[in-house]
Amino acid sequence: MPSTEMVEFLSLESVVSNRPLILVDAFGVFWGGEAVGLLPGALATFQKIKEQNTTIIIVSNSTRLADREVSKYSKAGLHLGEHYDLFVSSGQITRDAIVSCRLPFSTPRYKYWLYGDCHPQHGSPSQELFENNLFSVTSSIEDADFIYCGIPHKNGCDQESVDPFQEEIEALVKTGLVMLIANPDKTALEGRPSRPVVRQGSIGALYQEAGGKVCYFGKPYPLIFEYIQKWAVKHLGLEAWKDAMIIGDNCETDICGGNRAGIDTALITDTGLATEPILTLGIERFLASLPMENRPKFLVSSFSILG
């Protein structure tokens, strides 16, 4: 766990130097969304890190399956096997649990009720997660074993506050069903200029605050880090995992998850979710506002060796 002393800024090059294994978050670190694509300097940074024989794992809270995300990045010039070694998504971890029927709650009917229908920009990732397995969606919530939370929106429009969702979430809690969330991120940056909008993690928090039970997959929760650790130990050895580091822009997911997993953490300050609160509060007040498990060991301005 990081110390309570002031965290200093370091260059990305010094932070990653001699690391056998780097975990890299996607959105806000090297990826700016569909409209932006790869952030400036990101591709050169991947290449530079690979030159020092470092293994790179992209770990994302995307609900999309790994193959789809790998294809998306490849179209932007970032290639698996050349620029990074493994892609792990929250959606893939969730899908594996669904297919193997290892959800940590009872599902006697093998039916779920979908909250948040098809998003006009992002489609319906839930179709991928539940395709070709025992589970099926039901339009009758009385028949469901659980609620699956899709990408929240109102009439096709992203929301900057959870207030429009409050009443319906409180009503859903009364069903007594567990809500399954495959992306614990509370917000995402959307649009140009970008703005933070409500995502599944915020709906989960709202559900819990109203007394409901939520099952999360993805960062910062253990299963995704346990999967990566198992892969790393198998392919690289235990020492590589002990010296690993995660680079992310989200203190609640990337940094907290890395701290809980016992690896070093580096927060990107200029291109992701931490940017606005750091500008508003200043870095000292921002860090002081964080719970200790959300506090990074290092601060890095951007995922650019050149920056």
- Establish how many alpha carbons lie within 13 A of residue 181's alpha carbon, considering only the half-sphere containing its beta carbon: 27
Residue 250, pLDDT score? 96
Average pLDDT over residues 131-157: 93
Residue 2, pLDDT score? 56
Which amino acid is it at 229?
A: Q
For residue range 9-53, list pLDDT tens digits in order: 899 999 999 999 999 999 999 998 888 899 999 999 999 999 999
Average pLDDT over residues 207-229: 97
Q: Decide if pLDDT at 208 tops 50.
A: yes
Q: Decide if pLDDT at 154 tops 70.
A: yes
Residue 9, pLDDT score? 85
What mean pLDDT is reported for the chain?
92
Average pLDDT over residues 92-109: 95
Average pLDDT over residues 73-79: 97
- 165 to 99, 160, 202, 211, 220: CA distances (angstroms): 30, 11, 10, 15, 24
Q: Report the percentage of the chain scoring pLDDT > 90.
A: 83
CA distance 230 to 37: 30
Angle at which helix 222-236 crosses helix 90-99, to 10 degrees, equals 100
Buried b (16+ CB within 10 A) or exposed e, 117-148: ebeeebeebbebbbeeeebeebeeeeebbbbb
How would residue 211 be classed by pLDDT, with cut points 50, 70 and 90? very high
Average pLDDT over residues 95-106: 95
Q: Please count the other Cβ atoms lying within 10 Å of the Cβ belonging to residue 228.
A: 22
How would residue 195 be classed by pLDDT, with cut points 50, 70 and 90? confident
For 235, the enclosing helix (H) or strand (E) is helix 222-236
CA distance 15 to 280: 26
CA distance 127 to 143: 19
CA distance 93 to 95: 5
How would residue 4 be classed by pLDDT, with cut points 50, 70 and 90? very low
Residue 123, pLDDT score? 63
CA distance 221 to 258: 10
| Stronger pLDDT, 86 or 187, i.e. the higher one | 86
The SS3 of residue 168 is helix
Contacts of 147 (CB under 8 A, 6+ apart): 112, 113, 114, 115, 141, 172, 175, 177, 178, 179, 180
How would residue 120 be classed by pLDDT, with cut points 50, 70 and 90? low
Lowest mean pLDDT of 149-153, 176-180, 292-296, name the range: 149-153
Q: Report the percentage of the chain scoring pLDDT > 70.
A: 94
Tokens standing for residue 30 = 């090297």
